[in-house]
Amino acid sequence: MANLVVSGIILGSIITLGAVGLTLLYGIVNFGNFAHGDMMTLGAYIALLMTATIFPALGLVDTPIGPLSFGWVMLVSFLPAMGVTGLAAIAADRLVYRRLRERRVRPIMLAIAALAVAFVMRSVIYILWGADFHFYSQGLRTTWKLPLGITLRPDQVVVLVVAWAMVVGLYTFLQRTKTGKALRALADNPDLARVSGIATERMITLTWFIGGAMAAAAGILLGIDSQVRPEMGWLMLLPLFAAVILGGIGNAYGALAGGLILGVVQQVSTAFMSPSYKPAVAFIIMILVLLVRPQGIFGGSKSS
Amino acid sequence: MTGILTFTAGFLAMAGIFAIMSLALNVHWGYTGLFNIGIAGFFAVGAYTSALVTSPMPAGVQAQYVEQAFGLDQPFLVGVLAAGIVSGLVAWIIGFPTLRLREDYLAIATIGISETIRLIFNNARWLANGPQGLVGIKQPLREWLIERGMPPNFYNFFYLVIVILLMVLIYLALERGIRSPWGRVLRAIREDEVVPETVGKDVFRFKMQSLVLGAVIMGIGGALYAHFARAIQPSVFTPLFGTFVVWVMLILGGSGNNKGAILGAFIVWAIWSGSAYLIRQVVPVEFSAQAPYIRLLLIGLLLLFILLTRPQGLLGEEKEVSRLT
């Protein structure tokens, strides 16, 4: 059981990383980004492109550090993957969402567009890389046996550290910088933010970049923790939304708690039922929250 | 020549089944503004219910490799009816926690239910044979017709008649319903929930009725699919094939217009089947594994294109003017 809780915290950290971007976008562009899972997949595949094709072509072959199954090349690959995914998110905004926004369509129409963007992204991934699953490194995956029956792979420690470094970084940014405050203000009350002179469109662009970059990082970490495959992000969509709803839509702190709870409950559930039911477990948690406390544990930014 | 004819009959029957799905989505989205992106779930529930209700319990050698929870050996129409009822029940269950909340909660809940339903059919082998699914699903009057001298490959024509009949029936019923006071309330809810609420309409009840009605029709569509394909597996009812294609159909044809829903279904199904053939011709053999995804890319881009250039779809909603003006 302790082992499942530990692996749940690792999964939960990955969910959190995706969910903070999703909840931020929810607050600022005011629709559920159904392409968020596929942005994770995109990030994971760009990192795969870097580690498996581009860096080796430059003569940089990854050599594992210590007990890890990967080395510096993998870690450096985070940057281009996050950057490109962030830019892809901005491109989707410019080409699709902004045009719809300018036409003042209902936010739910943007959600349909996001669904289309998700399918376009995934089909491109399928076309370029095929349906098979991939691993980042062929290196040996060592496992540590810890007390209480906990087994931990050194890779998972990196997953945990990277995820939390990014989450803490984002929170510091939101909390301490002027731009971060502007973002939170916009998520909280768009009209008030606009009259206070916050450049809405610029903030929206920034949010897409942050959301895309964070999703990419989450996707890579998920790929390190398990494997890289085209459906990986879509299967995470339900836990992501469940975490966002659990924490209250638009509430960045709520997403943190929601992500961890989701990860732990999903992993612990595998003690009682087949692991393939994990998305269903996320769904049931979500329905329970909707029944008992639809505004989420901490309340949303726009509870309606 | 007969090859082309039977192919056309099969193509039209599938398009007709999708037209029924698209009409059902039109009840949800086009008339009430309910964002259902879990059509695949209702599709699957309908297909499996009808398959289980109409097939006998596997016996003899078959029982060794086919597991199913029950097999009632009932006629086709009982299966279709049961499919509608069970699918409606599922809709009622998820409508209850979500319909009072903001509109995108329903969307997420419908994704959730459709994924969960697929997982259950995939993993619970005792229910409907797991990933292998059910095969040899009965077709209405097939044996009876063949005994009376109909060549077996003409059966598709007969099935096409059944599908078109049901599609027309559903179309007429919906047209009537939507032009009634009940339909006007639905459209008012779509435009602005607060207005019907202030004139004393129970918005939750109307939304629930719309959700359940649409789901019943989706269940019927699922049943028609099961008896047409004669074999169903959980892998058929994916978000792509079960949900996304239907959305493209409705948006292309024109949401809020039942004729548009049908038109969109026939056009998109033609693109879908035609592009499969074309891509096979154009794409080199070594990339043939990727070919299906080119089609997915095209359909996705088509939806974005419609949303950006002609969001009302080909036909758009008909303006309804009061007879008194």
The string over A31-40, giving b where at least 16 C-beta atoms fall within 10 Å of a residue's C-beta and e elsewhere, is: bbbbbbbbbb
Q: How far apart are CA A169 and CA A214, in angstroms?
A: 11
CA A171 to chain centre: 15
Residues of B at the A interface, defined by Cβ within 8 angstroms: 33, 35, 37, 94, 97-98, 101-105, 107-109, 111-113, 115-116, 119-120, 122-123, 239-240, 244, 247, 251, 289-290, 293-294, 296-297, 299-301, 303-304, 307-308, 311
Residues 235-274 of A with CB under 8 A from B: 237-238, 241, 245, 274
Q: What average pLDDT does the segment B9-20 reach?
A: 95
Residue B98 reports pLDDT greater than 70: yes
pLDDT of residue B216: 97
**Partner B contacted by A113 (CB < 8 A):** yes
pLDDT of residue A239 exceeding 50: yes
Please report the ipTM that was assigned to this predicted complex.
0.87
Q: Is A83 helix (H, G, I), strand (E, B) or coil?
A: helix
Backbone angles phi, psi at B35, to 5 degrees: -90, 90
| Chain-chain contact of A111 with B107 (C-beta, under 8 angstroms) | yes
Is A32 in the B-facing interface, judged by CB distances under 8 Å? yes
Q: Assign A299 a pLDDT band (cuts: 50, 70, 90).
A: low
Q: Are B35 and A111 in contact (CB under 8 A)?
A: yes
Angstrom distances, CA of residue B163 to CA of B88, B154, B262: 20, 15, 13
Question: Between A117 and B154, where is the model more confident?
Answer: A117
Three-state secondary structure call for residue B233:
coil
Determine the distance in angstroms separating the CA of A218 from the nearest CA of chain B, rounded to an integer.
Answer: 21
Give the best residue of A106, A127, A291 to mutate against chain B (max B CB count within 10 A).
A127
Contact call for B304 and A34, based on CB within 8 A:
no
Suggest the residue from B94, B104, B123 to mutate for an interface test with chain A (most A CBs closer than 10 A): B104
Distance from CA of B198 to the nearest CA of A (A): 17
Across the range B188-209, mean pLDDT stands at 91
Q: Which one of B66-75, B180-189, B216-225, B293-302 scores highest in mean pLDDT?
A: B216-225
Percent of chain A with pLDDT over 90: 45
DSSP per-residue codes, B97-153: HHTTS-HHHHHHHHHHHHHHHHHHHHH-HHHH-GGG-EE----TTHHHHHHTT--GG
- How far off is chain A from B133, nearest CA to CA, in Å? 17
User: Dihedral through CA A280, CA A284, CA A289, CA A295, nearest 10?
Assistant: 40
Residue among B116, B294, B301 minimizing CB distance to A283: B116
Q: What is the mean pLDDT of residues B282-299?
A: 81
Domain limits, chain B: 2-309
Q: What residue ranges define each of the domains in chain A, with the CATH number in brackets?
A: 2-292 (1.10.3470)
What's the sign of the alpha-carbon dihedral A50, A55, A61, A63?
A: negative
Reported confidence tier of residue A304, pLDDT bands at 50, 70, 90: very low
- What's the confidence (pLDDT) of residue A97? 93
Indicate whether B319 pLDDT > 80: no
Are A280 and B251 a contacting pair at CB < 8 A? no
**Cβ contact (<8 Å) for B308 and A276?**
no
Asked if residue B322 has pLDDT above 70, the reply is no
Q: Is A279 an 8 Å CB contact of chain B?
A: yes
A234 touches chain B (CB under 8 A): yes
Average pLDDT taken over every residue of chain B: 89
pLDDT, residue B90, reads 95
Taking only the tens place, the pLDDT of each residue in B123-181 is 988 898 888 888 888 888 888 888 888 887 788 899 999 999 999 999 999 999 999 99
Out of 3.30.70, 3.30.200, 1.10.238, 1.10.3470, select the CATH number for domain B2-309. Answer: 1.10.3470
Q: Which of B73, B7, B18, B1 is closest to B241 using CA atoms?
A: B18
Closest-CA distance of chain A to residue B290, Å:
5
A274 contact residues in B (CB cutoff 8 A):
123
Note whether A227 and A135 are within 8 A (CB).
yes
Show the beta-strand stretches assigned E in A68-200: 144-146, 150-152
Q: Is the minimum CB–CB distance between A31 and chain B shorter than 8 Å?
A: yes
CB pairs under 8 A between A and B: 117
- A129, closest residue in chain B (CA to CA): B290
